[in-house]
Structure 1
């Protein structure tokens, strides 16, 4: 897919998924404000975690009273009121589609079997804000750094709604930064963006608008291929109010 319309918020970590991150919650609040709605319709997609019930419960608790929540469970084990598998086009009616973390490779495979990428692309074109953390960050780009196969590995078949590659948890997990620099430096992955835990990249129509952080010291980086390896450049990162 190459159509890059709409608003996408990609999070390296943080939000309700990672309450241990200092300041966690500010990214979720930003996400709600991006919709411009008083009580946004927010649909959680937990495919990457196999629709883990505990993850769904954390989402529902985090957004209770702040949004009209729903859950899309492609494994068929969602809570009462989950989006029916024969009505996946309900994502077109959401203000936010929020994708959780887990296995990027599994997420992409299951989504493609159900035709969800095309629906999400259309939703973004209509104004739905797309968002996600970790695997939910990776999926929107052309390529990414993933641990879907055990050890860190380059993944080159992302959805491509956003250009280049992505790396979440950049300085928060041992070996994540080093492997991403190596792959971009060698050309195994195209140039892209890396985000620490608590950091998000805000995109509109395929153009990076800004980087933000809810975690003190959190940073985003542009990583490109140079003559002697990867070039890492810090992206100005705005600190969100607590």
Structure 2
């Protein structure tokens, strides 16, 4: 059963599941997944059938093939791709098998283009947890640069949730887009996949013109869910002016009351 042990572990990691997530999908205890992956227990036939169905491979392939071989591509893993490219999501977990949020600092952005699917590269990134985000989904944090998304300033950390199905992105959704040509950028996405196989990226800062990235250039998309910044937003001057006008009116009213 050595092949089964390594195959289950490889399929789980390639699909981006934690042991707890895989256990939930198979309707078994998380400890059993760990035992299977470490060779301390053998899965029942019914569990093997469920694993094969989940990853859309045959039972024979699960038991006898080496699914980590570069020539092997299960439909489930291939289905986690866009534009004909395999998308492998590397993650880290804590001692309780809960997913961490890895931080990609500005200085690591260039390296991320080559290491985004490398577990060793991801393992070296700083990581933290935000309990307020809940348990659903996989999250990653990116430190952005530039002023294209003002009032969110350069140096802000955007926390994004991994987007598996790009076709479901709604127009105007703020996202971190990782692409071969543009690198790591934070933009609002307008979905043009159906008609043109592209994503149109808009900046909130109007001095920057929208542009399009082709589906084949995109590596990952993370929908922005939260942000962390050490810079407080600058007060709207128009509101300050309005407050000043209201204050002046109040003073005038007080003067009129005294005259009466």
TM-score under structure 1 normalisation? 0.30
> Could you say which structure has the higher helix fraction?
2
Structure showing greater relative contact order (alpha-carbon pairs closer than 8 Å, 6 or more residues apart) = 1
> Could you say which structure has the higher strand fraction?
1
TM-score under structure 2 normalisation? 0.29
